[in-house]
Amino acid sequence: MYPSMRSIELFRSVSVDDFDSCAACLLKRSNAMRRKGRRVVAGQRVLLRDEKDRLSAPLKGKNGNTSLIPYRRILKNLRRLQMKEQQKKIKDSVGVKLLKKKKRTSWFLKVKDIYSRSDERIQQVDGGFFEKFGSLFREHAEMAKTKEQEEKREVAEKAAEITPKEGDEEDNDETTLPVIAESEAEDSAASASDSDSETEKDKGDLIAAAFNIDELYTEILYIIIHNVGCNVEVSQNALFSYAQDAFRIPNDKHRKLMEEAESKADPELMINVEVIEAKELRSKDSNGLSDPFVTLYLASNSSHRYNTSVKSMTLNPIWEEHFALPITDKSIDDSLCLEVWDFDPAETVKEKLGKIFDVKGVKGMRKLVKEIAVTATTGQHVNELIGRANIPLNTIPASGMTMWYSLDKKNKVTRQGIVKVRVSFSSGKNNQVAQQEHRHMRRIILLHELELSKVAPHWWCGNFTYQGQQLLDQHIAQSGLTQTEVELCAYSVYAGVHQNHPLSFTLFSKSLEKLVKPLQTETICEEEVKLFWEATKKLLPSCFSIIRKIRKKGTTEKAVMKQVIEVLKILNYIGILEPRNIELFPSNLYPWVTFHGDGPNCDILGTLSDAVSQGANDWLNHLIENNRKPDESELARLQNLIQLIQLVRSDLQKAIEFYDKLFIDLVKFQYAKCLYIFYQAKIATLCEPEVREICKSLKKLHYIGYSYTSAPTNSDPEEDPLSEGTSLFEVYLAVQRFVTLGQGLCPADYDTFHIKNFHQWFHGGVAQWLDIAVYKALIRIEKAVELDQLVHVDTNLKYSSSAVDALTIFYQVKTFWQQLNWPDVEGCYTFIAKIIDDICRCCVFYADKMAARVDGMGDSQDVYEKKFEVTNEWCLAINNIDYVRETLEPFTRDLGMEDVLKKLADIKSPVEADRCRNTLNNVISNAIDTVRNKIIELLEIVANKMGPSMKRLLIEGAELGSQGCNTIDRLMMYVDTNLSTLHRELNDENFNRILEIVWDLLSEILNEIIQTNLEKRRPPPFFAKLRETLNLMLGSFKNPDDCSNCDALRRTEQILKINGLETADLIHQAYIEMANIFDKSKETPYGEISFRCRFQGDSLQIEVINARNLFAMDSNGASDSFVRIHLFPEHKFIGVDKPKTKTHNKTLFPLYDETFTIDLNPEQASIEDGLILFSVKDKDMLGYNNQYIGEAFLKFKDIPRTESSLSSLPQVKKWLCRPTTTETNVLKALETRQGDKQAKDFLRKYKQRMGS
Amino acid sequence: MRSTTKNTLLKVVILGDGGVGKSCLMNRFVSNQFDEHSFHTIGVEFLNKDIEIDGETYTLQIWDTAGQERFKTLRTPFYRGSDICILTYAVDDKTSFKNLDMWRKEFANYADVKENNQVPFIVVGNKSDVPTEEREVSPLEMETWCNDNGITSCIETSAKSASNVQEAFKMAVQHWLKLESRADKSETVINDTVDLSKKQTENRTSCCIGSSDDK
Ligand SMILES: Nc1nc2c(ncn2[C@@H]2O[C@H](COP(=O)(O)OP(=O)(O)OP(=O)(O)O)[C@@H](O)[C@H]2O)c(=O)[nH]1
Ligand SMILES: [Mg+2]
């Protein structure tokens, strides 16, 4: 991947807040490009070369490794694949997520901003990603920087003493580092500041190195001169010039030191031989086996022989015996000779062999065996040679080797077997001195090579040039250093160099991998252990720096991952070593460590946790600092918070997806959890005061009732309470999501988190959100009504689009409520009440808008009149509102009120929960009623619009009669069509409702017509015709029975009927009414009358039996009573007798005992509503003015038609009554007939009877 | 259900310190009951009640609010669109009386009303049944405070003994009527400005029952 591409990638995967730094990065890069042309590619070259090195390294005949190559390749490819996949995943999940959130415009703006700003800003960013935060930290960083500079100067001075010219060059070189190195400069600066650069000891080291440089150089020359082993690739001269370069030795000095080196005595070199084993040896004994032993010597000194022990009776002996042969002849031709013999014991030898069991210790044994061998080889030639192998010394690499050699024997072509030996060089040098030399040398070579190759920071992972490697190998070989010793040297040198020029962490993790075991098991001198820990202390700060800068931009995800893995491995190895009583994390280097324990701090996991928190902290602070602008509006502050939380969340997401497993697997550290614990506290402290303050000062949303100030007129978005509230809600949601994440991530600790109660910060905001929700709902409803085409949404559904829209809007409010997921129960309850009330308000608003929408529809004017047709639109409007109303109740249930009430009962008390339930139910039914009333209001409008036409129909009907009249037909049609439209379009409930309203309206209209026409003294036929028309009209109502429910109309119709009667009929109605009233009356003061009646054929037989408790009419306390019999209707019994009894004086209990027979014609006898009136009167003394006592009626239909005699019938007893009211409709109708004598007479008599 | 008469709907909020007897007042008024050991209200309570004045029926939608401080954010959303605000204190609790000012301000702040004198406030001193020695606020003090604050209607009540409870609500509606007629008159004067009270008036007069009012 090209670095430039990488940077683009980065732009994609970071979100707004990082653009400051990224843009700066980009700037820097492009600046560099301008300055350096193709420099950008340099980084890539480094990478390629590094890879090539790694690939070729095992090929260079490092024996044992050769077989590993294919395996390594596979591994590498595999890893590459994995990485790719991971990267893809990163891009897919994190990148894309972020990409979606990011606002392009804003970062473009920001980039522009940065461009236009002064260089100072860029420099600031260059100064480091995190380092500039916190004064303490800055101070520390500055201190470290000055110290480092001091040291650099010192070294430079020393170097200048030796080679002033090249010292200058070095300075120049630094400025021409490849681009990648430059971009990472911040990093090295960081590590420098972290690690406090060099410790005192290290400084001493460097100075010592400078002082002893001549000596060391001489030693190097000496080593080259006395090259051991094979060195094919590099000539001696090349090594000389390499060393001269590395040590920066001027030529004259080189010559001088060269002489010195040449004059020095030859080194005391030894060749170490381990005879390991032999295989497939040729048998020499009769038993098919051999008793083999090995003799070894240098060709130049064949008299000095060394023998192994004898392994009896085997062809595959294992010896594993060590020998050290001093090298005396420096000639390249010298070689090591190995001879395998079959031991054939002579007597004398046998004797000696017997001693084997007496000797103790390996050395003694060896001596003995040697003796035996000498005896054997110098004595009689009983031993038989199996084979021999020659190993020229110049085939042995300086680093030594282990190899199988085949054995041959003169003149024999057959295989004699193979022998395995390990050969290496060693010296008699002082081990401590050798190690120190080695460290210096390695350091100088490494620094030289780093400078030569201009390798980028964190790239170098242990591969020297051939020359460098060869020098080191020679030194190891010639100094006789063990692998562990060399590894320890390398480790401490690398750690030192690492402080100024970061090396690959892989280098250290591999080194530690090799060191852990020896450090645990081998006896390593105290000095070296100390060195190891010193080195580790130098290494660790950069490790924690990686952890802290895990989010650093400018490196690929892959690189970061790789580094983190290596760092974690390092921490793991160091953890395995269980450091004790070592101040691994001095507080001056780790100011952020929170360690509180006693004694030195070597708590790796604790420090790791601190580093993780600190890293997150630095990152966050950086984001905050970069986003902070002076005098920010609340809105901007809120939006910053949202972004911040989102970034934190995606950081956590990344931690969970990529790093958590690494940390757990490698160091058993719960990375994501640790991060979360830090973030939750941080977010809480960041958000809480801000949110609380903003909630307190929220500006009120101004909208009034159903009308609202259309589209926020306030052009300044900062001032707009709407966007402020919305942003606040976004913050809420962001925190909520963050908290949910925590519940899953740290279920055990969740309860202790302060952020758990985050909703309390937002307390004041909820009301605002609800207001906003209503406000938005109102706007949408208005729009929905406006857009409604007023057609059925579906052939089956009798409502139109806006009803569906309104519902959707309500459900948006519900969704908002669900999103809010308010945790506080009391609040929940109250807010639900508010939401229901608000939704009711929306419904009413909708109803009003709907009514306004259809208003005017169906109105028309033709030649005859102004009229109104019920249109589908009107019906739709009504249905829409009804549809919305119907959903109110289920909607409220959906708000989860049952759940809330249950919780209330739990945390408060069932009684209080019940009160709350009542309140909610009241609010709901209030809402439903309110909307229902809205519907009725609309129905009334429709009915009222129909009113004038109906009124006209009725009047015309009354005037003209119903027959053959055009107008009537037309009007009938009108009612019919409109009603059937209503019937078709409205649901039953609303249709019945509107019928009711129409009936109410009709009776109102009728009353009005009746009233005016009575006043006009219209004759009864007018009313009769009106009634006829009405019934005709009611007939067009689908179900006239429904009318029976309508009292008002029935009463009105009754009135109409009465007024339509001729006066005689009307009077009879008055009697019937009286009869009905009298029949119902209980005991009266006027007394009781008994009689018997029957029809015999057409003749009516009446027996007046007696009266009791008659009213005392006279002053003497008694009455002189008689009974007169009348038959009604009067006009139908003209000429018929009105018989009367005798008068019974001075008694209140007269026994009349008289029977009358009245002959009637058949019609008279069969009059349905005929009545008999028994009128009891007090006979006036003069017979002139009889006084009225009381009367009773008997209805014809109650009179038995029988042949049996009167006396066999039961007596009929009736209380005597007097009329008491003129308030009946009949009497009122009679009253209106002022000009009618008949009516007048009746009323006069009637009132007399009342009055007496 | 549908009522044949067209009632005027009025939204009434009752405010006052916790424990002054707001809920008791409402319950006495609505269901003629009194609970000696009533709980503190949670958030709000709501009841409907018809009241007849001069042959007109008014439907009161009564929102009884929670007086305790911790419910502040829960009750304030309900102030919006109120027609009548009943400020309540207890005559045996001086603090609750002193807090009337706070309540008036809280209401004015959240009810979205601009001019104070447009709001029909009435002051109710509850628990008038307490023995004289327990009394901390005299009727005179109440009247003085009302005068100072431009509130013309005040009354002492007892939810416990049912004294003056109906009267208090009646007084509130009458007070509203008075303001309403004044607003009607002023409507002709201010025609060009968008005025809250004017809007309410328009709505109300044009609506039958249930047409709302709870703005
Ligand atoms: N003596 C007397 N006590 C009363 C009267 N009215 C209410 N109380 C008592 O005062 C206490 C509180 O009454 P509530 O109606 O619950 O008070 P509140 O104003 O609704 O209180 P919050 O709901 O917390 O705002 C109860 O114990 C009642 O019994 C009254 O008129 N006289
Ligand atoms: Mg209460």
Beta bridge partners of B45: B64
- Distance to chain A for B138, nearest Cα, Å: 33
Q: What is the mean pLDDT of residues A986-1001?
A: 82
Q: Which atom of ligand 1 is nearest to the CA of B17?
A: 25
- Distance to chain B for A686, nearest Cα, Å: 23
Q: Domains in chain B: how many in total?
A: 1
> Would the CB atoms of B46 and A923 count as touching at under 8 Å?
yes
Identify the closest residue of chain A to B1 by CA–CA distance. A929
Chain A CB contacts of B107 below 8 Å: none
DSSP SS3 for A182: helix
> Would the CB atoms of B112 and A912 count as touching at under 8 Å?
no
- Chain mean pLDDT for chain A: 75
Q: What is the mean pLDDT of residues A877-882?
A: 88
Identify the closest residue of chain B to A927 by CA–CA distance. B210
CB contact at 8 A, B148 and B154: no
Chain B CB contacts of A912 below 8 Å: 39, 42
Identify the closest residue of chain A to B208 by CA–CA distance. A937
Q: Is residue B121 part of a domain?
A: yes
Is pLDDT of A137 > 80? no
Picking from A841, A911, A933, the nearest residue to B209 by CB comes out as A933
**A824 in reach of chain B (CB within 8 A):** no
Domain ranges of chain A: 210-266+432-480, 268-343+383-427, 482-585, 943-1060, 1063-1250
Chain B residues with at least one Cβ partner in A under 8 Å? 1-2, 4, 9, 39, 42-48, 61, 71, 73-78, 80-81, 110, 112, 196, 199-200, 203, 207-215
> Where does residue A768 rank: exposed (0-12), middle (13-18), buried (19+ CB within 10 A)?
buried
Picking from A767, A909, A919, the nearest residue to B73 by CB comes out as A767
Crossing angle of helices A466-479 and A236-247, rounded to 10°: 90
In sequence order, which ranges of A57-134 are alpha helices (DSSP H)? Answer: 69-90, 96-101, 104-116, 119-126
Q: What is the pLDDT of residue B129?
A: 95
Q: Which residues line ligand 1 (CB under 6 A)?
A: B 16, 18-24, 36-38, 40-41, 66-68, 126-127, 129-130, 158-160
Q: What is the mean pLDDT of residues B59-64?
A: 94
Q: Give φ, ψ of A1178 to 5 degrees.
A: -100, 120
DSSP SS3 for B162: coil
Whether A268-343+383-427 shares its CATH topology with A1063-1250 is answered yes
User: How far, in Å, are A853, A886, A890, A1026 from residue B2 at the CA level?
Assistant: 24, 16, 22, 30
Q: Is residue B164 part of a domain?
A: yes
Q: Is residue B71 part of a domain?
A: yes
> At which residue do the structure tokens 């324990």 appear?
A597
Among residues 510-549 of chain A, which lie with CB inside 8 Å of chain B? Answer: none
* Furthest CA-CA distance within chain A: 200
> Would the CB atoms of A826 and B199 count as touching at under 8 Å?
no
Ligand 2 centroid to Cα of residue B94, in Å, is 18
Q: Is residue B76 part of a domain?
A: yes
Q: Which two tokens stand for residue A759?
A: 């909703």
Q: Which atom of ligand 1 is nearest to the CA of B130?
A: 1
Is pLDDT of B68 > 90? yes
> Would the CB atoms of B73 and A940 count as touching at under 8 Å?
no
DSSP type of residue A730: H
- Distance to chain A for B208, nearest Cα, Å: 7
DSSP type of residue A1106: E
Look at chain A and count its residues: 1252
CA distance A995 to A936: 11
Q: Is residue B107 part of a domain?
A: yes
> Would the CB atoms of B212 and A844 count as touching at under 8 Å?
yes
- Rounded to two decimals, the pTM is 0.63
Q: What is the mean pLDDT of residues A1164-1179?
A: 90
Is pLDDT of A1201 > 50? yes
> Would the CB atoms of B42 and A911 count as touching at under 8 Å?
no
**Region A1063-1250: CATH code:** 2.60.40.150
**Ligand 1 pocket test target in B14, B23, B27, B46 with most atoms within 8 Å of CB:** B23
Q: State pLDDT tens for residues A523-553.
A: 788 888 888 998 999 899 889 988 888 887 7
DSSP track, B70-135: GGHHHHGGG-TT-SEEEEEEETT-HHHHHTHHHHHHHHHHHTT-S-GGGS-EEEEEE-TTS-GGG-
Q: What is the pLDDT of residue B133?
A: 92
DSSP SS3 for A148: helix
> Would the CB atoms of A937 and B208 count as touching at under 8 Å?
yes
- Chain mean pLDDT for chain B: 81
Highest mean pLDDT out of A280-284, A974-978, B147-151: B147-151
A532: Cβ contacts below 8 Å, ≥ 6 apart = A488, A491, A492, A515, A519
Tell me which H or E stretch contains A23.
Answer: helix A19-36
Is pLDDT of A147 > 80? no
The pLDDT confidence band at residue A719, using thresholds 50, 70 and 90, is: low
Q: What is the mean pLDDT of residues A105-113?
A: 35
Chain A CB contacts of B215 below 8 Å: 704-706, 841
- The more confident residue out of A185 and A1171 is A1171
Q: Whose CA is nearest to atom 29 of ligand 1?
A: B36
A353: Cβ contacts below 8 Å, ≥ 6 apart = A345, A372
- Distance to chain B for A991, nearest Cα, Å: 14
Nearest to B168 by CA among B17, B22, B6, B18: B22
CB contact at 8 A, A622 and A130: yes
Chain B CB contacts of A702 below 8 Å: 112
Instruction: Report the amino acid identity of residue A1236.
Output: D
Picking from B43, B77, B211, the nearest residue to A934 by CB comes out as B211
Quote the radius of gyration of chain B (alpha carbons, Å).
17
Q: State pLDDT tens for residues A600-641.
A: 788 888 889 999 998 899 888 888 888 777 667 778 888 888
Q: State pLDDT tens for residues A212-251.
A: 677 788 888 888 887 776 655 678 888 888 888 888 888 8
**A30 in reach of chain B (CB within 8 A):** no
Q: What is the pLDDT of residue A180?
A: 35
Q: Give φ, ψ of A849 to 5 degrees.
A: -65, -40
The pLDDT confidence band at residue B22, using thresholds 50, 70 and 90, is: very high
DSSP SS3 for B146: helix
What phi-psi label fits residue A1247: left (phi over 0), alpha (psi between -120 and 50 degrees) or beta? alpha
The pLDDT confidence band at residue A345, using thresholds 50, 70 and 90, is: low
Is pLDDT of A1169 > 60? yes
Q: Is residue B155 part of a domain?
A: yes
Chain B CB contacts of A908 below 8 Å: 39, 42
Alpha carbons within 13 angstroms on the beta-carbon side of residue A584 total: 24
Ligand 1 centroid to Cα of residue B116, in Å, is 28
Strands A318-326, A269-279: parallel, antiparallel or unpaired by DSSP?
A: antiparallel
Tell me which H or E stretch contains A683.
Answer: helix A671-696
Q: What is the pLDDT of residue B114?
A: 54
A767: Cβ contacts below 8 Å, ≥ 6 apart = A834, B73, B76, B77
Q: Which atom of ligand 1 is nearest to the CA of B26?
A: 15
Q: What is the mean pLDDT of residues A127-131?
A: 23
Q: What is the mean pLDDT of residues A1124-1149?
A: 89
Q: Is residue B168 part of a domain?
A: yes
Q: What is the pLDDT of residue A863?
A: 61
Q: Whose CA is nearest to atom 32 of ligand 1?
A: B127
Is pLDDT of A1191 > 80? yes
CB neighbourhood size of A169 (10 A): 12
Chain B CB contacts of A916 below 8 Å: 42-43, 45
> Would the CB atoms of B211 and A702 count as touching at under 8 Å?
no
Q: Whose CA is nearest to atom 30 of ligand 1?
A: B127
Q: Is residue B46 part of a domain?
A: yes
Structural domain of B180: 8-191
Q: Which atom of ligand 1 is nearest to the CA of B65?
A: 25
Least confident of A68-77, A129-138, A653-662, A1091-1100: A129-138
* CATH ID of A268-343+383-427, from 2.40.128.20, 1.10.10.10, 3.40.470.10, 2.60.40.150: 2.60.40.150
CA distance A523 to A988: 101
Nearest ligand (C-alpha, residue B159): 1
Among residues 1193-1252 of chain A, which lie with CB inside 8 Å of chain B? Answer: none
CA distance A484 to A492: 12
Nearest ligand (C-alpha, residue B75): 1
Q: What is the pLDDT of residue A640?
A: 86
DSSP type of residue A811: H
Q: What is the mean pLDDT of residues A649-664?
A: 89
**A909 in reach of chain B (CB within 8 A):** yes
